[in-house]
Amino acid sequence: MHHVKPPVDPALLEHRNLRGGEFWRAVPAYAEIDEETFLDHIWQGRNSVKTPEELFETIGSTVDPTFIEDAKEGFRRAPMAVRVSPYAIATIDWTQPYEDPIRRQFIPVASKLLPDHPRLTLDSLHEQDDSPVQGLTHRYLDKVLFLPLQTCPVYCRFCTRSYAIGPDTESVDKAALAKTPELWKHAFAYIASRPEIEDVVISGGDVYQLAPKNITLIGESLLAIPHVRRMRFATKGPAVMPMKILTDHAWVDALTGVVEKGRKRGKDVVLHTHFNTPSEITEITRQAMDVLFQRGVVVRNQSVLIRGVNDDPYRMTMLTKRLSWINVHPYYVYMHDLVKGVEDMRTSIQTSVDLEKHVRGTTAGFNTPLFICDAPGGGGKRDVHSYDYYDRENGIAVYSAPSVKPGQSFLYFDPIDTLEPEAQARWAVPSLQDEMIREAVARAGGKVAALA
């Protein structure tokens, strides 16, 4: 007996409908920009918005003047410098800028800011504590994070490395990373001296900003180390400036060259990127990802779970399926790190647990992301639902990391404004904060609280 499924609801295929055409012309400053110019990555870089004045010149009459004033104060108070590509500007719905998920990620507005959680720190992952040489973090036994630069094509408000990335701001003096080939040699020497290291993540900053010759230099230096088996070049670029992959042929050739040399040596070289919401993915994105796919470059995605950006089942499922459609593997969805100045963007642990249930089963398992809490204090990545104890009332999740830092407990705190008024009142009293944390760690069976 045959059981034929009824025709599918077209809404379930919405992930295939990518925005095409010259959509950027709706932005006043880009009304006369032709396709060749808009797809030029150099033009994109030169015309990025960095100040409220440039924002006003770009979007002008499409928004209420009070929004520009709100943004001006938001720019002033932000821990990250602002830099937004014309492509990202053009993907924002300026008829409702406060609600738009792309605006939320890159353009701060003062009226939406919330007080920081009292237990926040600037380097919440303690990357600098696990740094044996400048620009290198060695936390996991077999993996290192190499940070060869501190600039990006676009600066995310929620950057976990706001302690180091981009220029100094009014609220943050940036720490130094390894910014020159001379400093890189110390990192390579350290990696070569540690036979346990098999996996290197090259991030920063953003490898989009590395010159082609430096992609080659870093790639070949690491491939030459016998025990290094895996390399991941990390970039937000495809989400905010996909046209670079279409028009910066030297950069794409350099990346492809490292991938192919690695393959010949039995070593895995891939690109990791960072899409957060389905509206970031357009027809331009698909064309760019096709270039990488045809060259045999594997691309994986790491999202951050952000309030008002992707924290509802529809958007997260749509993002997962749309990434799969363009041959980008959804890999991780991270809890928003405990960084300063962006409390309005964080969500609760429970939100992530609920989203994981909704997304799983909507597509193939290898295209279903893992929902992760990168445990504050250096515990590393834990499955979000693998907490040892979760005090939902007070918003305290306790994790352990026996293979990374045995014997310690690591704490993630839900945003205080999402808690009931009684719990919010307790967080206002320092002695009660300590008491709540001690009790949560005790209930988890732990001894040391990394942030307590």
Q: What is the pLDDT of residue 154?
A: 82
Instruction: Answer for the pair 307, 266: CB distance below 8 angstroms, yes or no.
Output: no
State mean pLDDT over 103-108. Answer: 93
Q: pLDDT band at residue 4, thresholds of 50, 70 and 90?
A: confident
Q: What's the one-letter identity of residue 253?
A: D
State mean pLDDT over 227-235. Answer: 97
pLDDT at 202 over 50: yes
State mean pLDDT over 112-140. Answer: 80
Instruction: Answer for the pair 18, 275: CB distance below 8 angstroms, yes or no.
Output: no
Q: What is the pLDDT of residue 452?
A: 40
Q: What is the pLDDT of residue 399?
A: 96
Q: What is the pLDDT of residue 124?
A: 55
Its pTM stands at 0.92
Within a domain: 441: no
Q: Each residue of 55-67: pLDDT tens digit?
A: 999 998 899 889 9
Q: What is the pLDDT of residue 81?
A: 78
Within a domain: 415: no
* Average pLDDT over all residues of the chain: 90
Q: Is the domain of 47 the same as that of 176?
A: no
More confident residue, 158 or 356: 356
Q: What is the pLDDT of residue 128?
A: 63
Q: What is the pLDDT of residue 174?
A: 36
Within a domain: 303: yes
Q: What is the pLDDT of residue 175?
A: 45
More confident residue, 82 or 93: 93
Choose one of 366, 384, 402: the last residue of a domain: 384
pLDDT at 415 over 70: yes
Within a domain: 14: no
Distance CA 273, CA 285 (A): 12
Q: Is the domain of 135 the same as that of 108?
A: no
Q: Which domain holds residue 316?
A: 128-384
Q: Is the domain of 286 the same as that of 378?
A: yes
Q: Is the domain of 108 the same as that of 132?
A: no
State mean pLDDT over 83-109. Answer: 95
Q: Is the domain of 106 the same as that of 142?
A: no
Name the E strands within 346-451: 370-375, 380-383, 389-391, 396-400, 408-413, 448-449
The two tokens of residue 356 are: 């994981």
Q: pLDDT band at residue 94, thresholds of 50, 70 and 90?
A: very high
Within a domain: 230: yes
Q: Is the domain of 183 the same as that of 90?
A: no
CATH number of the domain to which 149 belongs = 3.20.20.70
Q: What is the pLDDT of residue 398?
A: 96
State mean pLDDT over 10-28. Answer: 95
Choose one of 361, 384, 407: the last residue of a domain: 384
Distance CA 233, CA 221 (A): 14
Q: What is the pLDDT of residue 204?
A: 80
Q: Each residue of 426-452: pLDDT tens digit?
A: 999 999 999 999 999 999 986 554 444
Q: What is the pLDDT of residue 451?
A: 45
Q: Is the domain of 204 the same as that of 353?
A: yes
Within a domain: 262: yes
What percent of the chain stands above pLDDT 70? 92
> What DSSP string describes 9-58?
PGGGGGGG--B-SSGGGGSGGGTT--HHHHT-HHHHHHT-B-SHHHHHHH
Q: Is the domain of 329 the same as that of 242?
A: yes
Q: Is the domain of 153 the same as that of 277?
A: yes
Q: What is the pLDDT of residue 122?
A: 57
Choose one of 339, 363, 384: the last residue of a domain: 384
Q: What is the pLDDT of residue 340?
A: 83
Instruction: Give the number of other Cβ atoms within 10 Å of residue 243's Cβ.
Output: 24
Q: Each residue of 153-172: pLDDT tens digit?
A: 887 877 765 544 444 444 44
Could you give the angle at which helices 249-264 and 212-223 cross, rounded to 10 degrees?
10
Q: Is the domain of 137 the same as that of 272?
A: yes
pLDDT at 424 over 70: yes
Q: What is the pLDDT of residue 153?
A: 83
Q: What angle do CA 22, 28, 31 make, to 5 degrees?
A: 40
Within a domain: 214: yes
pLDDT at 173 over 50: no
State mean pLDDT over 203-211. Answer: 90
User: Which candidate, 399, 441, 444, 415, places its Cα nearest to that of 113?
Assistant: 415
Q: What is the pLDDT of residue 11?
A: 86
pLDDT at 311 over 60: yes
Report the domain count for the chain: 2
> What DSSP string describes 151-196?
--SS--TT-TTTTTSSS--SS-PPPP---SHHHHHHHHHHHHH-TT
Within a domain: 425: no
State mean pLDDT over 299-328. Answer: 97
Q: pLDDT band at residue 260, thresholds of 50, 70 and 90?
A: very high
Q: Is the domain of 140 the same as that of 264?
A: yes
Q: What's the one-letter identity of residue 323?
A: L
Q: What is the pLDDT of residue 2?
A: 76
Q: Is the domain of 273 the same as that of 154?
A: yes
Q: pLDDT band at residue 412, thresholds of 50, 70 and 90?
A: very high
